[in-house]
Amino acid sequence: MARQVQDGDTVTIHYTGTLSDGSVFDTTKDREPLEFAAGADNIIAPISNGVLGMREGERKTFNIPPEEAYGPHDPAKLVSVDASKLPEGAGVGDLLTDTENRRWRIHQIEGEQAIVDGNHPLAGQALTFDVELVSIQ
């Protein structure tokens, strides 16, 4: 019988992540599989812990509520800034990094004011991951 994933094993997976409307937001289909330590906190916990007990070649679907993925969308992370402080040529949707290495997405620019969003782009979203365990090391 094939070995099962145990806590701390290095595993590789192929996955496709979709939103509740079925749109794909990320996939490893056309690239190398994702490698991580099972049970560790370097990826979303429901996947890291969900692969425990899986065997090579096994497939599993994970339905992850926002609270267990990237958290709820926090309106307090929408911040108004002087548009003149944005980099030249920056526009809505662009990602910026501040001096404390925090990431912000430009949400809106109106006149001399801009609103930047410090939420993860997938905050507030329920996520579904179709996962195939490729290998256990």
pLDDT tens for residues 13-23? 999 999 999 99
- 3-state SS class at 110: strand
Rounded distance between C-alpha atoms, residue 53 and residue 38, angstroms: 10
What are the boundaries of each domain within the chain? 10-71+124-136, 75-117
Task: Confirm if 38 and 133 have CB atoms less than 8 A apart.
Answer: no
CATH number among 3.20.20.70, 3.10.50.40, 3.40.350.10, 3.40.605.10, domain 10-71+124-136: 3.10.50.40
End-to-end CA distance of the chain: 16
Does residue 1 register a pLDDT over 80?
A: no
What percent of the chain has pLDDT above 70? 99
pLDDT tens for residues 51-79? 999 999 999 999 999 999 999 999 999 99
Backbone angles phi, psi at 37, to 5 degrees: -90, 120
| Mean pLDDT score across all residues of the chain | 95
